[in-house]
A and B are shown apart, each in its own frame.
Chain A
Amino acid sequence: GDSVTQMEGPVTLSEEAFLTINCTYTATGYPSLFWYVQYPGEGLQLLLKATKADDKGSNKGFEATYRKETTSFHLEKGSVQVSDSAVYFCAPKAAGNKLTFGGGTRVLVKP
């Protein structure tokens, strides 16, 4: 079945630092790729997505590029804010219509 490996947290950063969260996946076929975010006390929400190779998803200053050759979808942000403190989940969506989530990476941004 589909699986996701993402870097374990917590990741602790200072404000304005550069953030990278690695994600690699295995999936049948040609999946769409998603990053979801869970802010403290809130439900999961879609952060960005990419549906084909070399596509770049972006939102709120975050970016991730669909790398088919390395089966990766690493999340990056050039300058994080305290409000980016959250848990981030990588999730491919392949055959069967369901999202398969990684274990999540907790990010804590300190002022």
Chain B
Amino acid sequence: DTGVSQDPRHKITKRGQNVTFRCDPISEHNRLYWYRQTLGQGPEFLTYFQNEAQLEKSRLLSDRFSAERPKGSFSTLEIQRTEQGDSAMYLCASSLVQGGNEKLFFGSGTQLSVL
């Protein structure tokens, strides 16, 4: 169990550019979540997957944001035409749901800075 990995740890980009983040969950975890956290705030839910199916998306997830989990393992989060307001820490979490119990394990996040 190596934990949830996120890549890159930091990303600096210019406004208008596209960026993609990757999340590798704990092996065999069937759920994967994306959250966004701005400085001094709690994480805000963006979306989650059950295996490869995307089951819920927040209204925060505008049409510039897209997430995939093609094989039910790793996931990517893409932001197109980035804006300065997209600057935040993007967190990934995974869990194994068994018998109604669920414990989320979070990665260290990808810090995005849009200049």
Contacts and interface: CB of A to CB of B under 8 A. Distances in A.
Interface residues of A, number: 18
Contact of A43 (B31, B44, B45, B108): B108
Contact of B42 (A42, A93, A97, A101): A101
Nearest to B46: A98
B2 interface: no
Given A43-B91, A44-B43, A97 B56 contact: yes
**Size range of the chain B interface in the assembly:** 20 to 34
Contacts of A4: 42
B41 A46 contact: no
Interface stretch (B68-76, B77-85, B99-107): B99-107
A96 B50 CA distance: 12
Contact of B106 (A45, A96, A97, A104): A45
B104 A103 contact: no
A66 interface: no
A89 B42 contact: yes
A15 B43 CA distance: 29
Contact of B48 (A46, A97, A103): A97
A85 interface: no
7 smallest A-B Cβ distances: which pairs?
Answer: A101-B42, A44-B106, A43-B106, A43-B108, A98-B45, A101-B43, A103-B42
Interface of B: 4, 31, 33, 35, 40-45, 48, 55-56, 91, 93, 102-109
9 contacts: A43-B106, A45-B105, A46-B103, A89-B43, A93-B102, A97-B48, A97-B55, A98-B33, A103-B42
